[in-house]
Amino acid sequence: MGNPKAFLTIPRQEAGYRPVHDRIADFGEVEQTLNSGERRLQASRCMDCGVPFCHWACPLGNRPPEFQDALWRGKWREAYEILSLTNDFPEFTGRICPALCEKSCVLQLSMGEPVTIREDEAAIIEAAFREGFIRPGSYPRNGKQVAVIGSGPAGLAAANQLNRRGYEVTVFEKLEYIGGLLRFGIPNFKLHKPIIDRRLHLMEQEGITFKVNSEIDLNCLPEGFDAYCVCTGTPQARDLSIPGRELKGIHFAMEMLAQQNRVLAGQTFTKDERISARGKHVLVIGGGDTGSDCIGTSNRQGALSVTQIEIMPKPPVGENPDTPWPQYPRVLKTSSSHEEGCARRWSLSSVRFLGKGGHVSGVEVEEVEWIPDPAGGRPMMTPTGRKETLKADLVLLAMGFLKPELPPLPENAFVAGDAATGASLVVRCIASGRKAAGDIDRYLRE
Ligand SMILES: Cc1cc2nc3c(=O)[nH]c(=O)nc-3n(C[C@H](O)[C@H](O)[C@H](O)COP(=O)(O)OP(=O)(O)OC[C@H]3O[C@@H](n4cnc5c(N)ncnc54)[C@H](O)[C@@H]3O)c2cc1C
Ligand code: SF4
């Protein structure tokens, strides 16, 4: 630990986002970077706590005190080596992780200014690629074959770990590109897609085979493999079965987000196929992160207005006594997309879609109240009778995903990522893929 008192004199400095007027004109990444001197100063703020809660909070068990100490000392290669011991893809989590570690950082508790762990992680991995610390490795083969089904973060982490343990790995992906929701869910303004390609290139050089346009029937797994890792995600979005659902102009969030990413990858769509917010009043139903991505995408497409509604009440601002430190706080989140312009409303239940000429023109909503359950369970929703109509000519449904029901699988098949847990986070999926790789390795060695 280089400077034990740095946290007393150096304030937290975030790189921040590009200015709104600039960033909404394109789909480039919104987040900026610090120079390497400023970055090292940020790393110096780490107190190397006796009990590092950042480490406790990270699903991957990342070791922030160790890699930040190396970073502060200017030992970028050493920082990379520490980071890559626990995280296969810091270039993804360094960009899009909600940073559970930072919410649990002791400096969050003591002064509300946690160490910039996520940004430090991104800086380390980018330096590692730039400086050529990362070279394709070669791993002795053990003669066994594993099929990974699904190429999101869980499948990629499992494949990476299995390949390094000597297994011959084939990744099967039903879509035309590798990456799962990294590729087709998460907008480019949060994760630039060449970042995924750079990692895939390395994985291919290390011997992993990727097969796109290859949907696997989970009832009939392909022959010739010693084990399988099923990482098929949560493909089914939650629907809203209210009157008027059949009207045109109502889409699942993923239909719009995936299409926009495909357009940016060079694919073309007819006017009828294209889902665009240009010149429209957009209503996003669902107050979570997917909804937030719809807002950012709609504004970039040229929406006239964007409104996001949520059935649950507005979360507390700042702190929430129900989720005290070091827990992840359930508080109001304002994303870069929210900053770019949208109205946000809470405690609104959607009653029916209204239409004109077969196309949606608005949504009737009703205010609801949430009565706390004295037993500590989920609060009870009570309609208030106060109804209103929100104007909308494009409605995006962002109400989460259903946990999939997988068919019975043979004992040499292991499930990881969202397919195992329900919709989650990239960092949890990488951790789950790594764990599944370990389980497969143990199974095949026994
Ligand atoms: C819009 C959106 C934004 C998000 N933003 C963030 C964020 O900012 N930060 C964060 O941490 N998390 C975010 N998440 C969550 C995160 O993306 C997911 O938790 C994570 O990608 C799930 O990883 P996975 O590997 O389990 O599955 P997925 O990423 O869903 O990948 C599963 C893959 O399996 C393929 N597949 C399915 N069935 C088959 C089959 N039978 N044969 C072959 N292939 C098949 C699918 O085509 C898909 O490519 C976001 C999610 C969404 C929807
Ligand atoms: S909790 Fe914060 S200050 Fe303590 S070791 Fe982790 S990153 Fe450093």
Ligand 2, closest atom to CA 106? Answer: 1
Question: H or E stretch including 382?
Answer: strand 380-391
Q: Does 44 reside within a domain? A: yes
Q: Does 315 reside within a domain? A: yes
Q: Decide if 350 contacts 309 (C-beta within 8 A).
A: yes
Q: Does 138 reside within a domain? A: no
Nearest bound ligand to CA 113? 2
Show which of 73, 96, 130 is a domain's final residue.
130
Range of the domain at 272: 250-397
**Are 278 and 346 in the same domain?**
yes
> Rounded distance, CA 219 to CA 206, Å?
30
Q: Does 137 reside within a domain? A: no
**Are 272 and 323 in the same domain?**
yes
**Are 352 and 267 in the same domain?**
yes
Ligand 1, closest atom to CA 401? Answer: 53
Ligand 1, closest atom to CA 154? Answer: 25
Q: Does 382 reside within a domain? A: yes
Provide the b/e sequence for 121-157 (b: ≥16 CB within 10 Å): bbbbbbbbeeeebeeeeeeeeeebebbbbbbbbbbbb
Residue with the nearest Cα to atom 14 of ligand 1?
A: 425
Ligand 1, closest atom to CA 155? Answer: 25
Q: Which two tokens stand for residue 36?
A: 């390497």
Identify the CATH number of the domain in which residue 59 sits: 1.10.1060.10
**Are 17 and 43 in the same domain?**
yes
**Are 115 and 152 in the same domain?**
no
**Are 257 and 354 in the same domain?**
yes
**Are 261 and 393 in the same domain?**
yes
Q: Cα of 321 to ligand 2 centre, how many Å?
A: 22
Q: Show Cβ contacts of residue 2 under 8 Å, excluding neighbours closer than 6 positions.
A: 44, 69, 72, 73
Q: In this predicted model, what pLDDT tens digit does every residue of 398-411 receive, in sequence order? A: 999 999 999 999 99
| C-beta 47 within 6 A of ligand 2 | yes
Identify the CATH number of the domain in which residue 410 sits: 3.50.50.60
| C-beta 169 within 6 A of ligand 2 | no
Q: Cα of 62 to ligand 2 centre, how many Å?
A: 11
Number of domains in the chain: 3
Closest CA to 231 of 183, 180, 290: 180
| C-beta 65 within 6 A of ligand 2 | yes
**Are 320 and 388 in the same domain?**
yes
User: Cα 427 from chain centroid?
Assistant: 8
Nearest bound ligand to CA 256? 1
Q: Show Cβ contacts of residue 419 under 8 Å, excluding neighbours closer than 6 positions.
A: 150, 154, 230, 231, 232, 233, 234, 404, 406
Nearest bound ligand to CA 183? 1
Query: How would you write the pLDDT of the chain (446 residues) with one tens digit per residue?
Result: 667 889 999 999 999 999 999 999 999 999 999 999 999 999 999 999 999 999 999 999 999 999 999 999 999 999 999 999 999 999 999 999 999 999 999 999 999 999 999 999 999 999 999 999 999 999 999 999 999 999 999 999 999 999 999 999 999 999 999 999 999 999 999 999 999 999 999 999 999 999 999 999 999 999 999 999 999 999 999 999 999 999 999 999 999 999 999 999 999 999 999 999 999 999 999 999 999 999 999 999 999 999 999 999 999 999 999 999 999 999 999 999 999 999 999 999 999 999 999 999 999 999 999 998 888 888 899 999 999 999 999 999 999 999 999 999 999 999 999 999 999 999 999 999 999 999 999 999 98
DSSP string, 416-435: -THHHHSS--HHHHHHHHHH
Q: Cα of 338 to ligand 1 centre, how many Å?
A: 23
**Are 194 and 302 in the same domain?**
no
Show which of 130, 157, 179 is a domain's final residue.
130
| C-beta 54 within 6 A of ligand 2 | yes
**Are 386 and 259 in the same domain?**
yes
**Positive or negative torsion for Cα 249, 254, 256, 262:** negative
**Are 387 and 410 in the same domain?**
no
Show which of 397, 417, 435 is a domain's final residue.
397
Q: In this predicted model, what pLDDT tens digit does every residue of 89-108 receive, in sequence order? A: 999 999 999 999 999 999 99
> Rounded distance, CA 177 to CA 156, Å?
13
**Are 270 and 342 in the same domain?**
yes
